[in-house]
Amino acid sequence: MARIVMKFGGTSMAGTERIRRVAGIVKRQQEAGHEVAVVVSAMAGETDRLVNFCREANALYDPAEYDVVVASGEQVTSGLLALTLQALGCKARSWLGWQVPINTDDAHAKARIEDIDAEALIASMASGEIAVIPGFQGVSPAGRVTTLGRGGSDTSAVAVAAAVKADRCDIYTDVDGVYTTDPRIVAKAKKLPLVTYEEMLELASVGSKVLQTRSVSLAMKEKVRIQVLSSFIDENAPAADTLPGTMIVSDEELEGSDMERQLITGIAADKNEAKVTLTRIADRPGAVASIFGPLAEANINVDMIIQNIAKDKGETDVTFTVPQADLVRAQALLEERKDAIGYFRMIAEGNVAKISVVGVGMRSHAGVASTMFRALADRGINIQAISTSEIKVSVLIDADETELAVRVLHTAYELDAAA
Ligand code: ADP
Ligand code: ASP
Ligand code: MG
C-alpha cells in the first residue's frame, strides 16, 4: 500500500463530465489499495475570469480582496469532486485551505506555504476517506484567505504530499508528460521520461507552465517524488504506477538510468513579462538602486536588466522586465518617484516574449548561446535583451515571433522527434 497525492489541473476539472472522469481515476487508485488525497484546480479559464472581475472592479486592486475572489474557483471544484466521488460510492470530503489548515505568510496573491498541519488529513485518509483539497489557497496568520500565485495548485499538491509523507505526488494534466518544449507549439517535441529537479526548476522558472516553479523547488527540498501524467485516459488505461509519464528525478537517478543526456533539455517561452525602459537617468551611484528598491519593497520581481551607458552625456537608459500582472503597479510606483529617480521618459511595452534554452549539458559545453543567436538571426528575429545562468540562456524578443523562435531553436539544437 502506498500513500499518494493526486493533483488535477484546470482542463481536467472543466465541467461535471470531466470531473466524473477524474473521480473514476481517483477511485481506481484507491481500489488498488492506496491511501489517497486529491488536490484540484479551478475549472479551466475560471481563475482568468475571476482575475478580470477584480481588474474591472479596481485596477489597483487590494491583493487581500483579490485572494477572496480568486480562491473561490477551487472551492467549487473541490466540493464538486467530493460530491462526484460520493456518487460513485466512495467516502470523500473536501478540506478548504483554512480547514486543513494550510498556513501561509501574508504575501497575498503570491503567498508562501509555511506549514501544513496534516494530522487530521492523515487520520481521514487512513480511515478510507478520500481527502479533496482545493489547490492554490491557504490561510494567513491573520486568518485571511491567501493564494499562492498562478499555477499554485501544483505547489499545494507537493506541499500536501510532503506533509502527509506521501510516496508519490502524481500531477495529472492535459499532456502526458514533460516535453522538450510545449507540445502545443511544436508538434515534433519529444516526451522526456526523466527530468532532473534542477532542470525542471529552471524550465519552470522560464515559463514551462506544466509545473509551477515553487512546486519543483519544494519537491527538491522535501524530496517529494513527482510524476507528470495525463488525466485524458480511458477506463482501460494502465494504472498510474505503470503509466509512462515523466518522472522528476535526482541527478544520481538520471545517471543510473540508461537515458542519454542531451546538451539541451528543453526550450521554454514566456509571454507574461513586460518591458519597461526609463530614459536618461543620471549615470551616478544609487540611481539604479532608487529604481529597484521600491519595486522590491512592493514585491515586484524584476527579471532581465540592461543598462546602456551613454558615457559622453553622463546619462543612461535602463531597461528591465517585470511580470505583466505587476506592470500597472510598477508604472504607478515609478511615476510617483519620477523626480526622485530623475528619469526623462518611461516606456512600457507588453508585447514581448522571453525564450529560454535550458540544459545541464551547458556547463561543460561552449557555444550554446552562439547557436541560439545565430539561429534567431538567420530568421531575422531581433534580440532585445539577454540573460544567462549556469544552465540557461534567455532572450527577449517580439511576442509575435514566439512560435517561430521556439520552432527554429528546437530544430537548431536537434531536439525534433523523428518524423
Ligand atoms: P494544468 O491546468 O493541468 O495545471 P497547465 O496548463 O498549467 O495545466 O500546464 C499544462 C500545459 O503546459 C500543457 O497543456 C502545455 O501546453 C504546457 N507546457 C509548456 N511547456 C511544456 C513542456 N515542456 N512539456 C509539456 N507541457 C508544456
Ligand atoms: N487556478 C489557479 C490558476 O489558474 C491555480 C492552478 O490552477 O494551479 O492559476
Ligand atoms: Mg498548471
**String of DSSP letters for 195-230:** EEHHHHHHHHHTT-TTS-HHHHHHHHHHT--EEEEE
Is the pLDDT reported for residue 9 higher than 70?
A: yes
270 pairs with which residues across the strands?
354
The atom of ligand 1 lying closest to the CA of 179 is: 24
Q: Ligand 1: distance of its center to the CA of 182 in Å?
A: 7
**Pocket of ligand 2 from Cβ distances under 6 Å:** 9-10, 41-42, 47, 73, 135-136, 150-154
Question: SS3 breakdown of the chain: % helix, strand, coil, rounded to 5?
Answer: 35, 25, 35
Q: What's the rounded Cα separation, in Å, for the pair 390 and 255?
A: 20
Q: How many CA atoms lie within 13 A of 333 on its CB side?
A: 18
Please report the pLDDT score of residue 311 as a whole number.
63
Q: What's the rounded Cα separation, in Å, for the pair 114 and 102?
A: 8
Measure the CA angle with vertex 364, ends 363 and 367; round to 5°. Answer: 90
3-state secondary structure of 23: helix
Q: Ligand 2: distance of its center to the CA of 359 in Å?
A: 27
Please report the pLDDT score of residue 229 as a whole number.
95
91 assigned ligand-binding residue? no
| DSSP annotation of 304 | -
**Pocket of ligand 1 from Cβ distances under 6 Å:** 9-12, 41, 151, 173-175, 178-179, 181-184, 208-210, 266
Ligand 3 (single-atom ion) residues, CB below 5 Å: 9, 151
What's the pTM value of the predicted model, to 2 decimals?
Answer: 0.91
Q: What's the rounded Cα separation, in Å, for the pair 278 and 287?
A: 11
Q: pLDDT digits over 65-104, tens only?
A: 999 999 999 999 999 999 999 999 999 999 999 999 999 9
The atom of ligand 1 lying closest to the CA of 44 is: 2
Is the pLDDT reported for residue 257 higher than 90?
A: no
Find cell 480582496 and name the residue.
Answer: 65
Q: pLDDT digits over 264-322, tens only?
A: 999 999 999 999 999 999 888 888 999 999 999 998 999 999 988 766 678 899 999 99
Q: What's the rounded Cα separation, in Å, for the pair 318 and 284?
A: 13
